[in-house]
Structure 1
Amino acid sequence: MPDSLIHGSTTTSAVLLATTPACRLLSGDGTLLDRLGDQLAALPVRDVQVVSPGGGLGADLRGVAEFARAAGGALAVLPADLVAHTEALATVLEHPARDTCALVSHDAAAAPMRPPVRIEGGKVVAAGSSFHLVPEANGTFRGVLQAGEADLASLADVAEQLAELADAGKLGPVTPVEAVDLLLVGLVRSGVPVRAAGIGRLHADRVTGQNAADAAVIRLAEVDEAQVKLDASVKEDDGFFATFFVSSWTRHLIKPLVRLKVTPNAVTGISVALALLAAVWFSAGTQGGRLTGAVLLYLSFALDCLDGQLARYTRTFSPLGAWADGMGDRLKEYAVYVGLAAGFGGSGIWYLAVAAMVLQVVRHALDYTYAGAAADAVRVGAAWGRPARSLLETRDARASAPGVLGLAQRLERDTVARWLKKIIVLPIGERMALIAITAAGWNARVTFLALLGWGGVAALYQLSGRIARSAR
């Protein structure tokens, strides 16, 4: 029977599966179940329901289905025998998107309590259990699964289907221990996009005995959660210039800004102001003006990175902030084009400036229209765009990406090739660096020609990648 433990005011609920003997193991002054309940109390969770043992795997899954149909927001499902850092749980439960996601490790060493998964493009595309096998696994699932509000019906349907299969004995050796693992398998195979929430250096381990539980708690103390949270605020997949020439020092400004209660939107505003000042200095047309503008543009981009880092650290994302950041980037870049052209003088330079601006508009359109089309396909075309896979197939039949896309994914595994790929696409960091260096060292004509040449190659690379993904 469910017991209500926590009440709050947010829109996330949680189901604790206290269906294994391990959840009653001792931890501090209580049990593992108590410990996990205390951790959830410190996170933005509206209420926690506990599923007690008694009816077997089928009954446990039907309990999850019942809660999913009654939930009014995102619903997290966790096994009560989980020993995890609070920050690891927060990676899922505090994310403002409240989306469907799973806590995973990129350590591919699977074990009975660490089922294998395959992760591609930040999504879990294949998940396993003792019955379901995963070819080319590159990660493991760590027990925390959340269904976003839009996917609650899918979670309920999957849980009920799995319950029927379990009661009929069609899932082979699976036991109640694997309830949450099976739910992840079901969501992935039904075509629901599941974000892979990486655990990084944090720990989240399910345990089966007192010695294992004690060892797991000791391992938690060996990790500095505060430092891991700070490191996680810096994007792992950022561009080369942003990673090595900006984030290497802006990360040290995050905690002071938090103490000063500076908001990410305020940092965005300062970034825009610095870029506009850079445009003014560029418009002077002198060597000193271009050099000053280059420095101001670099600082503007640094703050552009810092606002995102601050937002991730404080988990204060908002639609307004995302819109302001995106619009600010466009405003800053195009204002700098105008300043450079005005400082150089002559009608010919304006043609180059307009051409560079049009090229960037086209490149942004390639990105955003593709992202919108992919989101629409997931929302309204999942039934035909990503066919459901049977829960009775022991081996996940999804093949690795062929052709150009497969080559790109193989290159991702090579460090040098991965960084070259990031540089080729001319992300905003590389563009700001290109503008600053060419403007300070040469003139606006060189800047625009460099943007057109490199940007044209990047556009062709983007277009071929979008076509390959769409064909897949």
Structure 2
Amino acid sequence: MPDSLTSRETTTTSVVVLATTPACRLSCADGTLLDRISGQLQALPVREVQVVTPGGGLGADLRGVAKIARIASGAVAVLPADLVAHTEALALLLEHPAHDTGALVSHDATAGPMRPPVRVEGGKIVAAGSSFHLVPEANATFRGVLQAGEADLATLADVAEELAELADTGKLGPVTPVEAVDLLLVGLVRTGVAVRAAGIGPLHADRVAGQNAADSAVTRLADVDEARVRLDTSVKRDDGFFATFFVSTWSRHLIRPAAKLKLSPNTVTGISIGLALLAAVWFSAGTQGGRLAGALLLYLSFVLDCLDGQLARYTRTFSAFGAWADGMADRLKEYAVYIGLAFGFADPGIWPLAVAAMIIQVVRHAIDYSYAGAVADAARIGATWGRPPRSLLESAGARPAGGVLGLARRLERQPVTRWLKKIVVLPIGERTALIAVTAAGWNARVTFLALLCWGGAAALYQLAGRMMRSAR
């Protein structure tokens, strides 16, 4: 039965703790494992915590989750009380401002009875396993914490009720209450819900079944500096080549000072815009010194462009407005620099090249954003009728992609080809470097010709990739 422990009306996430296994009563320094996880949740911004206690087996536990999901407002997180985890690991979901649907995963793919396999692609969980459900080509493991965003609560309730019926009738085999949260993840993934994979990195989140395992798991927590991990995870792991190796290696040292100064990410974005506009002014001077100064200011502007996101992740204050403003700022800064370079070249013949470079970037952004919009529309509308939902009774997971897409995903796992792919698409970091180097070393004509050649090739590459993915 659900028992309410806490209530905080200033936040939008509720937590359901499944205290339905004997392990939740194992002892630790904080009392029991249930006491420990409850204390951690008290320190996190959650609205309320409800504990589901044993009362009828797996089916009853799942129906308890469904009942809570039916009446909840805001996101609902479900986690087992036999979980030993860093508080920072729990915060990856519970403090995320989006309050979206996600699950804690480790990219350690060594699966076990308490860490079922999952397959992660593009930051989403595309296949999830249990003792009944298999996952081909698993590349990560689920670590016990699942959150359903408000938009997916009805689906969570439906899945929980369907799984409860299947468990009660024995159609899922010898599953036990230990697997309740694992089965819920399987159900959400197989019904087409987009589940964000929140990677724990070097943090620990382990479910335990005995006292020795509990003692060992608690001891291991002290081996990790949570504050350091929080700083490390503020830097994007999948950023571009230039941003990763020429910016983030030192911009990370600016995150804590910026936080102490109480600078907001939007303030940092504003400063970045100012530096880019100054770069455009220097470029417009048309002198060698002006181009060198402009290149340096453009680079520093990009550093701050990276820092605003890093600061947002560190302070967990990012928002939809901030993301939109950051994207718009990128376009404004880049086109202002184009104009500055064209003015500084002092030859009317440069303007067609500048306009063409702008058009190439507009086309590339249109390819990306129109594809992203189409995917979102398909997920929101078309998925319910365009393809049948996958059965919760199928023991095998979804097949991995074959053909060209399958080859592309296999190449993605190789460091060299992964970095080459990131460079080829000419992201904002590589464009910044290209503009700065060619403008400082040569002139605006070389800059625009380089942007047109590389940008055109990148546009064709993106278009081909989007067409193949759309056809699939």
Shift of 1:274: 0.3
CA drift at 1:385: 4.2
Q: Deviations over 1:242-299 (max 9, x none)?
A: 0000000000010111111111111101100000000000000000000000000000
Matches within 5 A, 1:237-316: 237-316=238-317
8 Å Cα contact 2:80-2:181 kept in structure 1: yes
Matches of 1:386 and 1:99, distance apart in 2: 24
Q: 1:462: Cα distance to partner?
A: 0.5
| Whole-Å separation in 2 of the counterparts to 1:440 and 1:231 | 33
Following the alignment from structure 1 to structure 2, what is the Cα–Cα distance between the partners of residues 215 and 382? 44
Q: What does residue range 355-366 of structure 1 map to in structure 2 within 5 Å? A: 355-366=356-367
- SS of match in other structure, 2:349: helix
Pairs within 5 Å for 1:66-465: 66-396=67-397, 398-465=398-465
Whether contact under 8 Å (1:16, 1:78) holds in the other structure is yes
Alpha-carbon displacement from aligned partner over 1:423-458 (angstroms, at most 9, x marks no partner): 000000000000000000000000000000000110
**Structure 2 letter corresponding to 1:382:** A
Task: Give SS of 1:45's match.
Answer: coil
Tell me, in whole angstroms, the C-alpha distance in 2 between the residues paired with 1:362 and 1:387: 34
CA-CA distance at 1:401 after TM superposition: 1.6
Three-state SS of the structure 1 residue aligned to 2:285 is: coil
Contact 2:136–2:400, Cα closer than 8 Å, also in 1: no
CA shift for structure 1 position 44 = 1.4
How many residue pairs match? The answer is: 471
1:13 aligned counterpart, secondary structure: strand
Of 258-267 and 229-238, deviating more is 258-267
Aligned-residue Cα RMSD (Å) equals 0.8
| AA of the residue aligned to 1:437 | V
Q: Is the 8 A contact 2:241 2:423 kept in 1?
A: yes
Superposed displacement of residue 402, structure 1: 2.3
**Whole-Å separation in 2 of the counterparts to 1:234 and 1:384:** 39
Deviation at 1:210, TM superposition (A): 1.0
Q: What is the distance in 2 between the residues matched to 1:293 and 1:402?
A: 47
After superposition, what is the alpha-carbon deviation per residue over 1:128-151, rounded to whole angstroms, capped at 9, x for unaligned? 111111111111100000000000
Identity %: 80
User: Is the CA contact 1:285–1:342 (under 8 Å) kept in the aligned structure 2?
Assistant: yes
SS of 1:137 mapped into structure 2: coil
Q: Secondary structure, in 3 states, of the residue corresponding to 1:44?
A: coil
Q: Which residue of 2 aligns with 1:57?
A: 58
- 1:399 Cα deviation from its structure 2 partner: 1.9
Give the letter for the 1:460 counterpart.
Answer: L
Structure 2 residue matching 1:4: 3-state secondary structure: strand
Query: 2:3 maps to what in 1?
Result: 3
Q: Is contact 2:26-2:210 (8 Å) kept?
A: yes
Structure 1 residue 20: deviation in Å? 0.3
Task: Note if contact 1:126-1:188 (Cα within 8 Å) is conserved in structure 2.
Answer: yes
Amino acid of the structure 2 residue aligned with 1:184: L
Q: Partner of 2:46: helix, strand, or coil?
A: coil
In 1, Cα distance between the equivalents of 2:193 and 2:425? 29
The residue matched to 1:162 in structure 2 has which SS?
Answer: helix
After TM superposition, the runs of 4+ consecutive aligned structure 1 residues lying more than 4 A away are none
- Offset, 1:403: 2.4
Q: 1:200 to 1:385 in 2, by over 3 A?
A: farther
The one-letter code matched in structure 1 to 2:72 is: A
Kept in 2, the 8 Å contact 1:191–1:387? The answer is no
Per-residue deviation, residues 194-229 of structure 1 (Å, max 9, x unmatched): 111111000000001111111001100000111111
What is the DSSP-based 3-state SS (H/G/I as helix, E as strand, rest coil) of the residue aligned with 2:230?
helix
Residues 378, 385 of structure 1: 8 Å contact kept = no
| Counterpart AA for 1:287 | Q
Aligned-partner Cα distance in 2 for 1:2–1:188 = 25
Structure 1 residue 382: Cα displacement: 1.7
Q: Is the 8 A contact 1:191 1:386 kept in 2?
A: no
- Deviation per CA, 1:308-367, whole angstroms, max 9, x where unpaired? 000000000112211211111100000000000000022210000000000000001111
Is 2:40 the partner of 1:33?
no
CA 1:321–1:160 in 2, change beyond 3 Å: closer, same or farther? Answer: same
* Alpha-carbon shift at residue 30 of structure 1 (Å): 1.2
- 2:469 equivalent in structure 1: 469
How far 1:387 sits from its partner (Å)?
Answer: 3.2
Partner deviation per Cα, 1:71-128 (whole Å, 9 max, x = no partner)? 1010000000000000100111111111111111111110000001111111111111
- Report the 3-state secondary structure (helix = DSSP H, G, I; strand = E; otherwise coil) of the residue aligned with 1:49: strand
CA distance in 2, matches of 1:103, 1:29: 23
C-alpha displacement of 1:404: 2.3
Give me the whole-angstrom Cα distance separating, in 2, the residues matched to 1:20 and 1:386: 37
| Unmatched runs of 5 consecutive residues or more in structure 2 | none
**TM-score calculated relative to the size of structure 1:** 0.99
- TM-score (ref. length: structure 2): 0.99
Moved more, 256-265 or 75-84: 256-265
Shift of 1:384: 3.4
Residue 461 of structure 1 aligns with an amino acid whose one-letter code is Y
The one-letter amino acid of 1:390's match is S
Asked if the contact 2:19/2:80 (under 8 Å) is kept, the reply is yes
